[in-house]
C-alpha cells in the first residue's frame, strides 16, 4: 500500500507565477489536510478537505490560495501570483474515515525567486 | 480559540541523558497524538492517547495523557543519536464542532550530542 504521495517534491517559481501542488492520499483515505511549515517552525494548518468538499479552510489565506479534492484524482493546493513569503514546505496528510491518525506525505518544497 | 502549547522549543542533550517535552491544551481533548519529524523529513505518527491518565510505552519512549485530558508529555530515557528530530503533539478537541481537525503544538526540536 503506497503512502501519501506529493508532487513535485521541489518547485521553483518566480514572483507572480502560479504554483500547483498535488497530493494523492493513501488508498482508502477520504480525508486530506494541507499544512505549511517554515524552516525551524511548526506545522501550520491550512485546509481540511473530504472528497469534493472543503470542511475547514480557516487556516488558508483568503486571497491567492485555493484547494480542492475532486471525486477523481489528487487533491490540489493552488497558489496564484506567488510572493517570496510563500516559500515554505507544504505537507499533505490523509486519514481514513473513523480513524484519527494522519499519514503525511514527503512534502513539496516551494521556493519563490 | 483552540490552542496547543508545547515546551520547550529546543532541547540539547548529551547522548544517554533523558528528555521530556510537554504539551498543554486550552480546552479538553478527545485524544492526543504524537508525531516525530526527522531533519529534512516529514512528520511520522508515533502514538495516540485517548483515556484520562493513560500511559503508553514504546521501548525508551513513555507517553502520558493528563487526568483532565488537557496535557500530555513524552519522555525519552537514555537518548540516542537516532532520537534526533522534532517531536510534535497534536490535540483533537472534545468539541466536535472542529470537525476532525488536529491542533499541532509548535514542536520540540531535540539535538543529541554523541
CA distance B45 to chain A (A): 7
The answer to whether residue B91 neighbours chain A at the CB level (below 8 Å) is no
How much of chain A, in percent, has pLDDT values that exceed 90?
Answer: 85
How confident is the model at residue B100, as a pLDDT? 72
Q: Which residues of B touch A33 (CB under 8 A)?
A: 101-102
In terms of pLDDT, which residue wins out, A72 or A79?
Answer: A79
Q: For A27-69, what is each residue's pLDDT tens digit?
A: 999 999 999 998 878 899 999 999 889 999 999 999 999 999 9
- Model confidence at A86, pLDDT cuts 50, 70, 90, reads very high
User: Does the beta carbon of B102 lie under 8 angstroms from any beta carbon of chain A?
Assistant: yes
Q: Which residues of chain B have pLDDT under 70?
A: 95-99
How does DSSP assign B61-111, residue by residue?
EEEEE-TTSSEEEEEESS--GGG-EEEEEEEEESSGGGTT--EE---EEEE
Q: Which residue of B has its CA nearest to A32?
A: B101
How far is residue B52's CA from residue B29's CA, in Å, rounded to a whole number? Answer: 10
The distance of B100 to chain A (nearest Cα, Å) reads 8
Q: Which residues of A touch B100 (CB under 8 A)?
A: 31, 48, 55
Q: Is A100 a residue whose pLDDT tops 60? A: yes
Name the DSSP class of A84. G
Kindly tell me the sign of the dihedral angle through the C-alpha atoms of B80, B81, B85, B86.
Answer: positive
pLDDT of residue B98: 55
The rounded distance, in Å, linking the Cα atoms of A79 and B39 is 26
The verdict on a CB contact (< 8 Å) between B33 and A104 is no
Query: What percent of chain A is modeled with pLDDT above 70?
Result: 99
pLDDT of residue B99: 62
Query: Does B104 contact A at CB distance below 8 Å?
Result: yes
Cα(B54)–Cα(B64) distance, integer angstroms:
6
pLDDT at A98: 85
pLDDT higher at A77 or B96? A77
Rg (CA), chain B: 14
B40-60 per-position pLDDT tens digit: 999 999 999 999 999 999 999
Spell out which residues of chain B touch residue A35, defining contact as CB-CB under 8 Å. 104
**Inter-residue contact A108 to A11 (CB < 8 Å):** yes
Of B42, B92, B103, the CB nearest to A106: B42
What is the total residue count of chain B? 114
Contact by Cβ (8 Å): B94, B84? no
Contact between A55 and B99 using a beta-carbon 8 Å cutoff: yes
Return the SS3 of A36: strand
User: How confident is the model at residue B95, as a pLDDT?
Assistant: 67
Amino acid at each position: 500500500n503506497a503512502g501519501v504521495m506529493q508532487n513535485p517534491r521541489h518547485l521553483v517559481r518566480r514572483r507572480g507565477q502560479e504554483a500547483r501542488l498535488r497530493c494523492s492520499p493513501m488508498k482508502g483515505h477520504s480525508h486530506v489536510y494541507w499544512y505549511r511549515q517554515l524552516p525551524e517552525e511548526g506545522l501550520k494548518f491550512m485546509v481540511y478537505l473530504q472528497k469534493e468538499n472543503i470542511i475547514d479552510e480557516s487556516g488558508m489565506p483568503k486571497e491567492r490560495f485555493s484547494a480542492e479534492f475532486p471525486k477523481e484524482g489528487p487533491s490540489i493546493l493552488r497558489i496564484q501570483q506567488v510572493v517570496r513569503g510563500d516559500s515554505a514546505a507544504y505537507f499533505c496528510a490523509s486519514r481514513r474515515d473513523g480513524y484519527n491518525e494522519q499519514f503525511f506525505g514527503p512534502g513539496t518544497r516551494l521556493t519563490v525567486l | 480559540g483552540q490552542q496547543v502549547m508545547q515546551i520547550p522549543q529546543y532541547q540539547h542533550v548529551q547522548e544517554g541523558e533523558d528528555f521530556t517535552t510537554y504539551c498543554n491544551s486550552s480546552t479538553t481533548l478527545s485524544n492526543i497524538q504524537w508525531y516525530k519529524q526527522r531533519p529534512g523529513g516529514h512528520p511520522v505518527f508515533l502514538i495516540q492517547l485517548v483515556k484520562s491518565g493513560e500511559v503508553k510505552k514504546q521501548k525508551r519512549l513513555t507517553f502520558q495523557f493528563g487526568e483532565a485530558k488537557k496535557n500530555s508529555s513524552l519522555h525519552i530515557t537514555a537518548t540516542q543519536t537516532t532520537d534526533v528530530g522534532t517531536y510534535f503533539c497534536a490535540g483533537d478537541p472534545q468539541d466536535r464542532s472542529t470537525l476532525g481537525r488536529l491542533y499541532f503544538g509548535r514542536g520540540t526540536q531535540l539535538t543529541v550530542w554523541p
